[in-house]
Amino acid sequence: MSKPRFALAVLAFGYAFLYLPIVLVMGYSFNESKLVTVWSGFSFKWWRALLENEDMLAAAWLSLQIALTSATLAALLGLAAGYVLARVPSFFGRTLFGSLVIAPMVMPEVVMGISMLLLFVGANQLIDGPPFGFLTIAIAHTTFSLAFVAIVVQARLADFDRSLEEAAMDLGATPWVTFLTVTLPLIAPAIGSGWLLAFTLSLDDLIMTQFVAGAQSQTLPMLVYSKVRLGVDPQINVLATIVVCVAATALIISGRLTRRR
C-alpha cells in the first residue's frame, strides 16, 4: 500500500490546530503586559496574582470537593450500571435502563441543566431540600458522569475472560466473593479511569452547575466564565497553564492504568 502522505499531512495540521491555541495561551501566561495580545517581557506577575486571588482559590477548593464527591458516587453507580448492562441480559425495563445510562452522554447540557434545576426547585417546595449549592451540584455532576463510567466498565466486561469467574465458582466461591476477589480486581483499572474521567468532567462543568448552584456557591468554571465573558484575562492564562499540566499528568496516569492489563 502506498504511504498515505495526504493523511500524514492532515495529521500534522490537526495536531497544530489542536495545540497552537493552547500553547499560545500558556506562553502568554508569562507575559508582563496586561494587554494579552502584546508581548512585553517575561514575568511571573500573573502567576503571583492568581495564587493570591482568594476568590479563585475558594472557587477551586469548592470545585475540587464537588469533583471528588461526584466522581466517587459516579464510579460506584457507574460500576453497578455497567455491570448490569454487560452481565444481565434481560430484566423488566432493560431497554429503558440502557437508554437512561447512555442518553446523558449526548444530551445537550442546557436541557439537563434546566431539568435538574426544576427538579430541585420542586423538591425544595415539597420536602424543603436539598439545599442549593454543594449537594445539588454534586448530584447533577454524578448523574451525567456516571454514564461515562458505565460505558468504560461495560466495555471492559465485554472483552473479559469469564473462565476465571467460572473457575472461582466451581471452587465454591459465592457470586459475591467471586465478584470481589476475581472480577473487581480485573476491572479496577477501568473503574479507575472512569473515576478520573468523571472527576475531570465535574471539575470542568459550567452549564449544569450554573443552573443548579443557587445564589451562594461559585465553582471555578463559573468564576472563569464570568471573567472570560469580558475578554482575555492574564490570570485565566495562568489557570489554563495549570489545568493543561494537571490534565496531562492525569492522562498519563490513566493511560498507565488501562494499559496494565
Partner 1 sequence: MSSKTSLRAVIAVPYAWLAVFFLLPFALVLAIALGTNDPDSVPPVALGFSLENFARLFTDKLYVAAWLSSLRIAAVSTLGCLLLGYPMAYAIARATPARRPLLLMLVVLPFWTSFLIRVYAWIGLLSENGMLNQFLRWSGLSDHPGTILGTEWAVHLGIIYAYLPFMVLPLYATLEKLDVSLLEAASDLGAKPIAAFLTVTLPLSLPGIVAGCLLVFIPAVGEFVIPDLLGGTRTLMIGKVLWDEFFTNSDWPLASAVAICLLVLLVGPIALFQRQQAKSLERAE
**Region 139-168 residues binding partner 1, contact defined as CB under 8 A:** 139-140, 142-143, 146, 150-151, 154-155, 158-159
CA distance 238 to 161: 46
Q: Can the peptide bond before residue 130 be classed as cis, meaning omega within 30 degrees of 0? A: yes
Q: Closest distance between partner 1 and the C-beta of residue 31, in Å?
A: 11
**Site for partner 1 contains 240 (CB under 8 A):** yes
Task: Give the residue, chosen from 49, 57, 167, 247, that forms a contact with partner 1 under the rule CB under 8 A.
Answer: 247
Which residue carries 496516569 as its cell? 253
**Site for partner 1 contains 130 (CB under 8 A):** no
CB 220 within 8 A of CB 210: no
**Site for partner 1 contains 28 (CB under 8 A):** yes
Half-sphere exposure in the Cβ direction for 220 (13 Å, CA): 24
The amino acid present at 77, given as its one-letter code, is: L
User: What contacts 196, CB < 8 A, 6 or more positions away?
Assistant: 71, 250, 253, 254
Q: Looking at residues 164 to 203 of the shown chain, list those that interact with partner 1 (rule: CB under 8 A).
A: 174-176, 200, 203
**Site for partner 1 contains 84 (CB under 8 A):** yes
CB 28 within 8 A of CB 36: yes
Q: Looking at residues 34 to 53 of the shown chain, list those that interact with partner 1 (rule: CB under 8 A).
A: 36-37
Q: Which is nearer to partner 1, 62 or 112 (CB)?
A: 112
Q: Closest distance between partner 1 and the C-beta of residue 96, in Å?
A: 8
**DSSP class of 174:** -
Q: Which is nearer to partner 1, 24 or 49 (CB)?
A: 24
Task: Give the residue, chosen from 58, 68, 119, 257, that forms a contact with partner 1 under the rule CB under 8 A.
Answer: 119
